[in-house]
C-alpha cells in the first residue's frame, strides 16, 4: 500500500468507482444465478460455525458484565433487558461484520487475487466477459444475503448465551430475565441491526473484490491484498457502524 496521500486518495477513488460499477451492473441480465447460489453457499459454509462459536462467549461476556453491574445497583430485574439490547443493537452486527470480513471477505479476496495473478481475469475480459458482472456482483449479493442471515443467527445465539450465563451461572431469575426482554429493546432495533448487516456485507464484499481484482506481483501480492482488504474492511465497518448508530438514534424514538 502506498503511503503517499495521493496514493491513498487514488485507491479510495478507485474503490468508490468500483462500488458504483457494481451498482450500475446490478440490473444487467442475465443474472448469474448459479454463481450467486454457489457463492452464498460457500460464504455461509465458511462463516456459520465460527459465527456461532464467537457469539456464545460474546453474549456471555455481556451477561457477566451486566449481571454484576445490575446486582450492584439492585436492578437485577433489568439484566435481561440490558443484555438483549446490547446483543441485538451492537454485538450482533459487529460480530457479523468481523466474521463476514474475516472469513468471507478474505476467501473472496484470495480467490479473485489468485485468478488475477494467473491472468484468468484478463482472459475473461478478453473473452468479452465483464468480471464485475460475472464475478463481483454475485459475490456482493451473496455476501449481503449471508450477512443478514448471520445477523439473525448471532442475535439468537447471543441472547441464548446471555440467558444461560445470567440464569444458570449467576443464579438470575429466569422469569425476570424473560419478562424484561422487551422493556428496552424494540422491533425496530432488529430491523436496524439487519440493515447494518446488509450494508456491512456489501462493504466487505466490495472491498475484498476490489483488492482481489487489483492484486499484483505474484503470490505475495495476493497475500498482501488479503491482508489489506481485512484491515480496510474493519476500518470502514466500524466507521459505518458508528454513523448508522448515530443516525438510528436520531430517527427512531427510544424506549425507557
Instruction: Give contact residues for other proteins (rule: CB under 8 A).
Output: 114-115, 118-120, 122-130, 134
Nearer to other proteins, 30 or 74 (CB): 30
Round to the nearest angstrom and report the end-to-end CA distance of the chain: 47
Which grid cell sits at 35? 454463481
Nearer to other proteins, 114 or 176 (CB): 114
CA distance 108 to 102: 10
Q: Residue by residue, what is the 3-state secondary structure of 134-191?
A: HHHHHHHHHHHHHHHHHHHHHHHHHHHHHHHHHHHHCCCCHHHHHHCHHHHCCHHHHH
Neighbours of 77 (CB within 10 A): 16
Q: How far is the CB of 12 from other proteins (least distance, A)?
A: 19
Q: Which residue, 82 or 132, has its beta carbon nearer to other proteins?
A: 132
**Distance between CA 149 and CA 164 in Å, rounded?**
23
User: What's the closest the beta carbon of residue 126 comes to other proteins, in angstroms?
Assistant: 5
CA distance 82 to 87: 9
Pick between residue 122 and residue 191 the one whose CB is nearest to other proteins.
122
Closer of 118 and 220 to other proteins (Cβ): 118
Question: Rounded to the nearest whole angstrom, what is the least distance from the CB of residue 125 to other proteins in the complex?
Answer: 6
Shortest CB 17 distance to other proteins, Å = 11
Least Å from the CB of residue 123 to other proteins: 4
Smallest gap from Cβ 49 to other proteins, in A, equals: 23
Q: Do 161 and 57 touch, CB atoms closer than 8 A?
A: yes
CB 100 within 8 A of CB 146: yes
Which is closer to other proteins, CB of 4 or CB of 72? 4
Amino acid at each position: 500500500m502506498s503511503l503517499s496521500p495521493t496514493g491513498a486518495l487514488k485507491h479510495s477513488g478507485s474503490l468508490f468507482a468500483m462500488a458504483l460499477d457494481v451498482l450500475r451492473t446490478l440490473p444487467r441480465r442475465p443474472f448469474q444465478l448459479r454463481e450467486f447460489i454457489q457463492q452464498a453457499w460457500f460464504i455461509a459454509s465458511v462463516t456459520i460455525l465460527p459465527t456461532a462459536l464467537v457469539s456464545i462467549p460474546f453474549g456471555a461476556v455481556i451477561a457477566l458484565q451486566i449481571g454484576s453491574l445490575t446486582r450492584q445497583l439492585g436492578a437485577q430485574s433489568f439484566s435481561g433487558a440490558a443484555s438483549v439490547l446490547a446483543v441485538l443493537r451492537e454485538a450482533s452486527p459487529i460480530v457479523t461484520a468481523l466474521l463476514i470480513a474475516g472469513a468471507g471477505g478474505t476467501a473472496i479476496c484470495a480467490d479473485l487475487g489468485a485468478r488475477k495473478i494467473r491472468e484468468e481475469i484478463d482472459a475473461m475480459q478478453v473473452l468479452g466477459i465483464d468480471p464485475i458482472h460475472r464475478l463481483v456482483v454475485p459475490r456482493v449479493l451473496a455476501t449481503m444475503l449471508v450477512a443478514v442471515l448471520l445477523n439473525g443467527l448471532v442475535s439468537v445465539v447471543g441472547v441464548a448465551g446471555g440467558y444461560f450465563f445470567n440464569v444458570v451461572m449467576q443464579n438470575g431469575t429466569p422469569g425476570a430475565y424473560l419478562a424484561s426482554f422487551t422493556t428496552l429493546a424494540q422491533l425496530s432495533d432488529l430491523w436496524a441491526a439487519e440493515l447494518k448487516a446488509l450494508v456491512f456485507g456489501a462493504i466487505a464484499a466490495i472491498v475484498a473484490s476490489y483488492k482481489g481484482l487489483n492484486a499484483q506481483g505474484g503470490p505475495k501480492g495476493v497475500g498482501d491484498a488479503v491482508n489489506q482488504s481485512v484491515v480496510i474492511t474493519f476500518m470502514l465497518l466500524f466507521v459505518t457502524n458508528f454513523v448508522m448508530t448515530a443516525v438510528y438514534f436520531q430517527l427512531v424514538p427510544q424506549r425507557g
